[in-house]
Structure 1
Amino acid sequence: MQVRIFSSKSAVRFLVPLVLLPGLPGCFVSPGGESSSDGGPSGSRLRVALAFPPAENLSPYGADATLLSRLGVTEGLTALDANGAAVPALARSWRRVSDRTWRFTLREATFQDGTDVTPAAVASALTHATQAEPPPAALAGVTLDAKGDGDSGIRITTAEPDPVLPMRLSSPSLAVLAPKAYGKKGTPTPVGTATGPFEIAEVSGGGSATLDRYDHYWGGLAHASGIDARFVKDGTARANAVRTGGVDIAEAIPVAQAATLDEATLEEAGTTRTTSLQLNTTTGPFKNPKLRVAARTAIDSSALVKGVFEGYADPGAGIFGPAVTWAESKRVKPAGRAKAARPDGASITLATYDNRPELPEVAQVVQQQLQKAGFTVKLEVREYSRLESDALAGKFDAFIGARNSLLDTGDPVGVLGSDYTCDGAYNLARLCDKQVDRAVGRAVETDGTDERQDAAMAAEAAILGTDAVVPLAHQQIIAGVSTKVRGVLLDPYERTLVGAGTRR
C-alpha cells in the first residue's frame, strides 16, 4: 500500500510568496508597518464591484459557490496553489490509506455561528453535497462516503479509486458549512454558517451584499473590517467606478476599458480560462473532419490576441494554456489529422454569448476569417442562459465560449472528460471518438501527479487531432484596484479576490 502524506509546513513555505489563498495563515503587514500573526487592526471596509450577481440564492453548489469563495466567505478542506497542487485549508494534512480511502486531519476552526468545525460536521456537509440535485460539478461521476474518524479526522472513501480527491475537495462547490446551514427543505445557506474571514450580514436582492469580518477566523483577524459588495453587470460601469473612486476593487475589467484606467490601478494575472471555437461534429458541415481542418487553418489566433484582447491574452496553444504551468513542457503534437477540404461556400451558424464582452468581438473576427476561407457564416449572439441549452443540443454548427479548464476540481483530466467524451455532460462539440475516449479513460485511471499530467496531455493531443475544438486565446484576468489597496488575490482559477490580508 502506498501512503502519501502532505503537511502544512511545506505548503506555507511554498505559498507565502504567491499570496493566493484567502485564508493563508501567517504574518500580514498592518497599515502602521507592524506585523501581526493575528492579522491587522480594525481596518477600513472594502468596496468591491463584482461582475455577476447571485444567480442561485447563494447556493454553495452552483455558480454562486465561486462568488462566495471570491469574497472570502467559504472554504473547503483544501485549496490549490499556483501550480494546481492541493494545499491545506480546513484540513491541515492528509494521507491516502488505500486505493479508495483517504484520511484528512482537521485544523482547529469554528463556523461563523460559533460552533466548532468537527469531523461530524464536515462529514455531514460533504454528504449533503453528494445528495444535491443537480450534484456539484466537482462530484460529476464520483460517489463518496465521508465519516468522522476520531477527534480530528475524517475518512473519505470513494466508490472507485480517486487519485485527485484532495484537488477535488478544493472546489468552491464543496465548501464546508455548519450543520444549521442544511435545513429540512431548500438550498443550504452560507449566511452565518461558513468558515472564511468574512461573513454575510445582508444581501439586497441581486444588487448588493454586506459582509462583516469574522473575528474568530482560524487564519487570523482580517485587516478589513468588512466588505460592501455591489453586483455590476456592465463592464464599463465597473471601470468607471474604479476611475472615480467609487469602489476599491472591481473584478473582470473588460479589455476595451483597460486603456481608460490609470495603469497604476490595473492588476492582471494569467488564468486557466481558454476561449475556444467548438465545432459540431455530429450534424452540419463540420461533421466532415476535412471541413473542420479548413476551419482550424483559417483561424489566426495572434490577430485575436492583438486586435480583440489588446495583448491581455496568449495565442491559443491547446486546451490548457500558459497559466497551467506544466502544460507546455508536456504538450504532445496531434497526429493523423485529416487534410483540409475546400469550404465552397458551406453555410454555418456561429454562436456566442455577450456575458463576457470580448466574446461577440471575437466571434466577429472569427466570422470574417472563416468567410475569407470560403465559408458562409451567420452569427448569433445571445445572453448565455438563453443559449446554453441550444448549444448542448447541437443546434449550432460552431460555438465560441470561454472555459476555465481547472475551475471545478483543479484536475486537468476532469474537463477533458466532461467536454470531449461520448458521455461528457458539457460536450459542446458533440464529439464521440473512440480514440479520444480511450485516451481520456487512461488519464482518469492514472495515478501520480507527473504521470497524470502526461496522460492528460496525451488526451489533449487526441482531442485536438479531431479538430473538434480550435483554441483561440488563453485569457488574462484584469482587475481594477485602487492604489490604496494591497493584497488583492488574483489566482489562475478565478476562485479568489478578497482575503484576510486584503486591506486599504
Structure 2
Amino acid sequence: MISPQALEKYGKDIGFHPVGTGPYQLETWNQTDFVKVKKFAGYWQQGLPKLDSITWRPVTDNNTRAAMLQTGEAQFAFPIPYEQAALLAKNKNLELVASPSIMQRYISMNVTQKPFDNPKVREALNYAINRQALVKVAFAGYATPATGVVPPSIAYAQSYQPWPYDPAKARELLKEAGYPDGFSTTLWSSHNHSTAQKVLQFTQQQLAQIGIKARITSMDAGQRAAEVEGKGQKESGVRMFYTGWSASTGEADWALSPLFASQNWPPTQFNTAFYSNKQVDSDLAAALKTNDPQKKTRLYKEAQDIIWKESPWIPLVVEKLVSAHSKNLTGFWIMPDTGFSFDDADLK
C-alpha cells in the first residue's frame, strides 16, 4: 500500500522518495552511483536493525566487484563472477554462498514482427543454441539448462524435453521458413554486466553459425525503461531481448501472466515477445479463480504446453545464486527470487 500522504507530496516522483516500515530508511540516493540507507529508530522489532547504515553500489564489471571484496572495500557482493567463484572461496576472509534460485534467463522474440512471426524461425533459433555449453562458458557451471518457461521449483511448473543443440536442423527450418541465407536482426539486453556480455557474445556466435547476424545492444536501466518497458507494440523496436524473470510469489501465475498474457504487452507489463494466445489467456485467468489444486494443475499445464509449442522465447538457463561476504558479516541473505534479506545483518 502506498502512503497517501507521500503520494500527495511527491506525485509522479514518489518512486524516488520511498516510504515504508522497514528497518532502514533512505538517506541518500545518487542514481547510477550508490544508495545509502540509515537505521530507522522507530522500527517495530526490538533490537533491530543492528547496523547504523548500509551503502549499496552497483558495480557492473565482474573483476572490479570481486576485487572490492578481496580488498575489504565491500563486505558483500552479488552476483559473484562465476568464473572467479572458486578463487574467492579460497580466501580465508570470505565466505562463498551458492544457492538454488527461481531466476530464469531467456531471450524473447517479438512474434508480431518478421521473421519472428514464423514459428519455424522461432524453432530454428531454439535449435541453434547449445545450452550446455552456455552454462560452462557464461556461468562457469553455476546454472542449469532451462526445461520449461517456468523454473522447476515454482508451483505448477511443467518440465519438457530440452531443446537439443542441432544447427543442421536449425538451418533446415530457416530454409523452410524462406530464409535459406539467414537474416539480420537486433539482440537487446536488459543487463550490461560482464556475465550478460558473455551470454550475448555466445548467442551471437551461435546464431552466426546458422546465418543470423545479430547486432547487440546492452541497455542500462534508463534505456530499458524508455525503449522496452515504455513503448507499446506499434512503437517498439524490440526484436530479440535477453533478460530474466523470477516469480517472487513462488507460483505459476506470476511466472506466466506478466510475460505471456495478451493484456500484458508493454507498457503494461513485461510480455516483450508481444505473445498472444486466447487459450493461454483463458487458462491463466481461470487458474486464478479456482482453489482446486487439480484444476490449477490442469490449467497451468495446458497454458505451458501451448507456450512451449509456440516458442515465443528461447529459454536459456536457470541460474544459481552465487554471493560472497566478509566472514565478519552475518545475517545477510539472498532470497530465491534474487531479493535481499538484511533485517538481521550485523558486522562484527
Specify whether residues 190 and 433 from structure 1 end up closer, same or farther in structure 2 by C-alpha distance, changes over 3 A only. closer
SS at match of 1:465: helix
Specify whether residues 361 and 191 from structure 1 end up closer, same or farther in structure 2 by C-alpha distance, changes over 3 A only. closer
Question: Which residue of structure 2 lines up, in the alignment, with residue 218 of structure 1?
Answer: 44
Structure 1 length-normalised TM: 0.56
Displacement of 1:257 after TM fit?
A: 4.2
Question: Which residue of structure 1 lines up, in the alignment, with residue 148 of structure 2?
Answer: 318
Question: Which residue of structure 2 lines up, in the alignment, with residue 443 of structure 1?
Answer: 287
Alignment match of 1:350 (pick from 179, 186, 189): 186
Distance, in Å, in 2 between the alignment partners of 1:190 and 1:451 is 42
Specify whether residues 191 and 275 from structure 1 end up closer, same or farther in structure 2 by C-alpha distance, changes over 3 A only. closer
Structure 2 stretches lacking a partner, 5+ long: 163-171
Question: Which residue of structure 2 lines up, in the alignment, with residue 494 of structure 1?
Answer: 338
Distance, in Å, in 2 between the alignment partners of 1:347 and 1:189 is 41
Question: Which residue of structure 2 lines up, in the alignment, with residue 412 of structure 1?
Answer: 252
SS at match of 1:271: coil
Q: 1:6-17 to 2 correspondence within 5 Å?
A: none
Tell me if structure 2 keeps the 8 A contact 1:292–1:340. no
Cα RMSD over matched residues? Answer: 3.0
Specify whether residues 255 and 485 from structure 1 end up closer, same or farther in structure 2 by C-alpha distance, changes over 3 A only. same
- Can you list the C-alpha shifts for 1:345-390, whole angstroms capped at 9, x where unaligned? 2213131324343222212212222232x23222222324325554
Displacement of 1:310 after TM fit?
A: 0.5
Distance, in Å, in 2 between the alignment partners of 1:278 and 1:191 is 33
Tell me if structure 2 keeps the 8 A contact 1:348–1:397. no
Distance, in Å, in 1 between the alignment partners of 2:219 and 2:287 is 34
Tell me if structure 1 keeps the 8 A contact 2:156–2:300. no
Alignment match of 1:379 (pick from 199, 215, 218): 215
Specify whether residues 199 and 315 from structure 1 end up closer, same or farther in structure 2 by C-alpha distance, changes over 3 A only. same
SS at match of 1:318: coil
- Can you list the C-alpha shifts for 1:1-29, whole angstroms capped at 9, x where unaligned? xxxxxxxxxxxxxxxxxxxxxxxxxxxxx
Specify whether residues 245 and 184 from structure 1 end up closer, same or farther in structure 2 by C-alpha distance, changes over 3 A only. closer
SS at match of 1:242: helix
Tell me if structure 1 keeps the 8 A contact 2:188–2:242. yes
Specify whether residues 450 and 306 from structure 1 end up closer, same or farther in structure 2 by C-alpha distance, changes over 3 A only. farther
Aligned amino acid, residue 143 of structure 2: A
Question: Which residue of structure 2 lines up, in the alignment, with residue 270 of structure 1?
Answer: 100
Displacement of 1:474 after TM fit?
A: 0.7
Alignment match of 1:243 (pick from 49, 52, 70): 70
- 1:471 corresponds to 2:315: yes
Structure 2 length-normalised TM: 0.79
Distance, in Å, in 1 between the alignment partners of 2:98 and 2:294 is 28
Question: Which residue of structure 1 lines up, in the alignment, with residue 200 of structure 2?
Answer: 363
Tell me if structure 2 keeps the 8 A contact 1:208–1:230. yes
- Can you list the C-alpha shifts for 1:208-259, whole angstroms capped at 9, x where unaligned? 4443434553333126232230423333332211111112112222324434
Q: 1:45-84 to 2 correspondence within 5 Å?
A: none
Tell me if structure 2 keeps the 8 A contact 1:220–1:500. no
Distance, in Å, in 1 between the alignment partners of 2:16 and 2:60 is 26
Distance, in Å, in 1 between the alignment partners of 2:278 and 2:85 is 44
Distance, in Å, in 1 between the alignment partners of 2:141 and 2:311 is 26
- 1:427 corresponds to 2:271: yes
Displacement of 1:304 after TM fit?
A: 0.7
- Can you list the C-alpha shifts for 1:152-196, whole angstroms capped at 9, x where unaligned? xxxxxxxxxxxxxxxxxxxxxxxxx5x654444434489795322
Distance, in Å, in 1 between the alignment partners of 2:199 and 2:262 is 28
- 1:461 corresponds to 2:305: yes
Tell me if structure 1 keeps the 8 A contact 2:69–2:77. yes
Displacement of 1:291 after TM fit?
A: 1.7
Specify whether residues 192 and 266 from structure 1 end up closer, same or farther in structure 2 by C-alpha distance, changes over 3 A only. same
Distance, in Å, in 2 between the alignment partners of 1:204 and 1:362 is 30
SS at match of 1:285: coil
SS at match of 2:259: helix
Displacement of 1:486 after TM fit?
A: 2.0
Distance, in Å, in 1 between the alignment partners of 2:71 and 2:181 is 50
Tell me which moved more, 279-288 or 208-217: 208-217
Displacement of 1:453 after TM fit?
A: 5.0
Distance, in Å, in 2 between the alignment partners of 1:189 and 1:421 is 26
Tell me if structure 1 keeps the 8 A contact 2:103–2:319. yes
Specify whether residues 356 and 458 from structure 1 end up closer, same or farther in structure 2 by C-alpha distance, changes over 3 A only. farther
Distance, in Å, in 2 between the alignment partners of 1:289 and 1:191 is 45
Distance, in Å, in 2 between the alignment partners of 1:458 and 1:209 is 43
Distance, in Å, in 2 between the alignment partners of 1:386 and 1:361 is 20
Displacement of 1:282 after TM fit?
A: 1.5
Distance, in Å, in 2 between the alignment partners of 1:291 and 1:283 is 12
